[in-house]
Amino acid sequence: MRHFLDLEDIPPLDLRAILYEAHGRKKARAGFAKGAPDADRPLEHRVLATIFEKNSTRTRVSFDIAMRQLGGNALVLDAATSQLGRGESVADTARVLSRMVDAIMLRANSHDSLLELAKHATVPVINGLTDKSHPCQILADLMTLEESGITLKGARLAWVGDGNNVLTSFMHAAPAFGFSLAVATPRGYAPPDAVVEKARAAGADITLSDDAATAVGGADSVITDTWVSMGDTDVGPRMQALGPYAVDDALMAKANRGAIFLHCLPAHRGEEVSDSVMDGPQSKVFDEAENRIHAQKAVLTWCFRD
């Protein structure tokens, strides 16, 4: 029984194995109907509970479809309409759900809730995004980079925009996979110092600046995300500070030829990314979204492995 809470906690060899499994399962079911199970149905009779304290489209659907494809089932709990929303403790919720389901995925307002759930659950707990990190997303992103012919070891990734939860998970992954990160954020929106320092101490090559053009120069991939994450309340100042960090054709032109554009979605077209980049030939954002299913199937089977 293993929790999947953050990429920095998982042995690099396991992360590599998860990515191999994701690629393999995707290839093995080419031509299958979306809801048809994989030939080996590794999670037959298993049930995953997914809990959402925040909105979701991709995470919600991809975990449900992932479980169907693995031969199991998923159910959705909205925090607001369950007893969690009326004050039942996370610890008691963990104890109850552990008697009823085989694994729990949580999308939480606070990372502390995820840690509390994992502490009291006796079944695997998976991080489906918190204020601090989004590890499932980064596995899908790394899978998409590899599908695009980019070797992760030595790859140069450029992050432009807000130093948010998605960037933190990229930093958690950087030492394990050996890619570098050139990060451009406005002042006040840089990633947390502790995350940067820990990744560097583990051997990651991370450059921080406030200059998008410099960060993107020589990049194999340009990556951004919304300027206002769920839970952010300082909308006005964010929009103003982040305005110069939009990814448009002019910025993409500074990256390597053949560089790909990634965005975890949902995108705010005309804000952090232009329509022309989102819909252009370098954009892999819809492969990236689909890969949430394949990457999470590998995470789920990893959680159940002895």
Helix H or strand E segment including 17: helix 12-28
For ligand NVA, give the closer residue by CB, 120 or 263: 263
Determine the residue type at 275.
D
Burial class from Cβ neighbours inside 10 Å (0-12, 13-18, 19+) for residue 257 reads: exposed
In the chain, the largest separation of any two C-alpha atoms, in whole Å, equals 54
Strand ranges, E, within 79-124: 103-107
Contact 102, 94 (CB under 8 A): no
47 vs 265 by CB, closer to ligand CP: 265
Query: Is 107 among the residues known to form the active site?
Result: yes
**Alpha helical stretches, state H, 101-234:** 111-120, 135-147, 165-177, 193-201, 212-216
Interacting partner of 166 out of ligand CP, ligand NVA, none (Cβ under 5 to 8 A depending on kind) = ligand NVA
Partner touching 165 among ligand CP, ligand NVA, none, CB below 5 to 8 Å by kind:
ligand NVA
Residue of 229, 254, 271, 282 interacting with ligand NVA (CB under 6 A): 229
- Of 291, 266, 13, residue with least CA distance to 136: 291
Point out which residues bind ligand CP (CB under 6 A): 56-59, 129, 137, 264-265
Partner touching 50 among ligand CP, ligand NVA, none, CB below 5 to 8 Å by kind? none
Residue 58 is a catalytic residue: no
Residue with the two structure tokens 């909308």: 235
Q: What is the Cα–Cα distance from 157 to 204, expressed in whole angstroms?
A: 12
Among candidate residues 6, 131, 264, 294, the one labeled active-site is 264
* Residues 71-130 close enough to bind ligand NVA by CB under 6 A: 129
Interface segment toward ligand NVA; rule CB under 6 A; list 174-182, 210-218, 221-229, 269-277: 221-229
226 forms part of the interface with ligand NVA (CB under 6 A): yes
Nearer to ligand CP, 130 or 301 (CB): 130
CB of 223 to ligand CP, least distance (A): 12
Active site residue 234: no
Is 110 exposed, middle or buried, given 0-12, 13-18 or 19+ CB atoms closer than 10 A?
middle
Q: What residues are labeled active site?
A: 107, 134, 137, 225, 264, 292
Question: Contact positions toward ligand NVA, by CB under 6 A?
Answer: 129, 164-166, 225-226, 229-230, 264
